[in-house]
């Protein structure tokens, strides 16, 4: 099964530019989109022609902000955040068989201490929820824009960004905690210490052309799925957003 995640930074703009043409080649079974910035009633008609059987949307209360969408070729029981008051439309959880699959747009800490506190609270509550699912014997997958680069290898200029939200010690420590609880960063597990592998680039300073980026989009899996992971990848040639898609191939047969 192929699963892909992409922060589109505005669904309508991507759809208007035929920004999903690459799906013809990739043929994912699941596509998790973040930062769609539309209400469900305003989803472009093109999205319903992409060949997916199920489409789920969680929009923010505030118009034109945040929001996630999941497109799947399989049936699942879907719910919004069970661990957080999700008025910003950040979470879709899909249950199928023994699997709990999350599509999440994690908060950005920005330069505001209040938003950093919100981000860290979200982080803590999600991890506690995911841990509880693992204790219950569930196979957990979570993907999306985590809004933090984990290690120095995960961004081009770590020293210059040491005091920037997205690479603060407190944010990176949370990712340490995620790993310490047995969750696997699929890209690093498959690709090792691959360098210059990023998923987000600033629109400023011609950053993408120079590959001055950050790897802040992830697929994590619980340890129970380690031997089922077949591949992990970054589709850095796909444009249309300041992020590019990331994905995994994983054998979920007999778990569904």
pLDDT in tens, 63-122: 999 999 999 999 999 999 999 999 999 999 999 999 999 999 999 998 777 899 999 999
Q: Looking at 139, 145, 185, 217, which residue is catalytic?
A: 145
Distance CA(57)–CA(199), nearest Å, equals 23
In which domain, by residue range, is 113 found? 2-250
Global pTM reads: 0.98
Alpha helices for 57-212 (secondary structure H): 113-135, 169-180, 186-191
Residue 253's pLDDT is 84
> Which CATH number fits the domain that encloses residue 33?
3.60.10.10
Q: Looking at 105, 123, 129, 218, which residue is catalytic?
A: 105
Active site residue 243: yes
Does residue 256 fall inside a structural domain?
no
Q: Is 217 annotated as a binding residue?
A: no
Residue 9's pLDDT is 98
107 DSSP assignment: P
With a CB cutoff of 8 Å and minimum separation 6, the contacts of 116 are 109, 110, 165, 168, 170
Domain tally, the chain = 1
Closest CA to 223 of 254, 256, 171, 185: 185
Q: Is 157 annotated as a binding residue?
A: no
List, in sequence order, every residue forming a beta bridge with 54; answer none if it has no partner. Answer: 72
With a CB cutoff of 8 Å and minimum separation 6, the contacts of 182 are 134, 222, 223
* Structural contact between residues 3 and 247, judged by C-beta atoms closer than 8 angstroms: yes
Residue 256's pLDDT is 66
Q: Looking at 129, 150, 218, 243, which residue is catalytic?
A: 243
Does residue 255 fall inside a structural domain?
no
Active site residue 145: yes
Q: Is 242 annotated as a binding residue?
A: yes
Residues of the chain with pLDDT under 50: none
Distance CA(127)–CA(178), nearest Å, equals 7
Does residue 147 fall inside a structural domain?
yes
List, in sequence order, every residue forming a beta bridge with 184; answer none if it has no partner. Answer: 221
Q: Is 145 annotated as a binding residue?
A: yes
Report how far apart, in Å, the C-alpha atoms of 235 and of each of 14, 197, 246 are. Answer: 16, 10, 6
Burial of 88 (0-12, 13-18, 19+ CB in 10 A): buried
Distance CA(190)–CA(228), nearest Å, equals 12
Counting DSSP H helices and E strands in the chain, the numbers are: 5, 14
């Amino acid at each position: 099964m192929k699963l892909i995640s992409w922060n589109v930074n505005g669904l309508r703009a991507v759809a208007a530019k035929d920004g999903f043409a690459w799906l013809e080649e990739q043929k994912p079974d699941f596509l998790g989109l973040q930062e769609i910035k539309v209400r469900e009633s305003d989803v472009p008609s093109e999205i319903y022609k992409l060949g997916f059987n199920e489409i789920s949307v969680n929009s923010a209360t505030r118009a034109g902000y945040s929001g996630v969408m999941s497109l799947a070729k399989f049936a699942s029981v879907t719910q919004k955040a069970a661990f957080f008051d999700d008025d910003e439309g950040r979470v879709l959880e899909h249950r199928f068989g023994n699997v709990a699959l999350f599509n999440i747009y994690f908060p950005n800490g920005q330069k505001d201490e209040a938003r950093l506190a919100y981000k860290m609270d979200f982080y803590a509550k999600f991890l506690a929820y995911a841990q509880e699912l693992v204790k219950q014997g569930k196979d957990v997958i979570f993907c999306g824009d985590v809004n933090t680069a984990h290690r120095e290898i995960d961004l081009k200029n770590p020293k210059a960004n040491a005091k920037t939200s997205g690479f603060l010690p407190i944010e990176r420590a949370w990712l340490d905690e995620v790993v310490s609880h047995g969750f696997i960063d699929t890209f690093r597990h498959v690709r090792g210490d691959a360098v210059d592998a990023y998923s987000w680039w600033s629109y400023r300073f011609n950053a993408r052309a120079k590959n001055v980026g950050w790897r802040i989009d992830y697929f994590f899996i619980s340890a129970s799925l380690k031997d089922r992971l077949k591949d992990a990848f970054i589709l850095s040639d796909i444009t249309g957003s300041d992020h590019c898609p990331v994905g995994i191939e994983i054998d979920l047969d007999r778990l569904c």
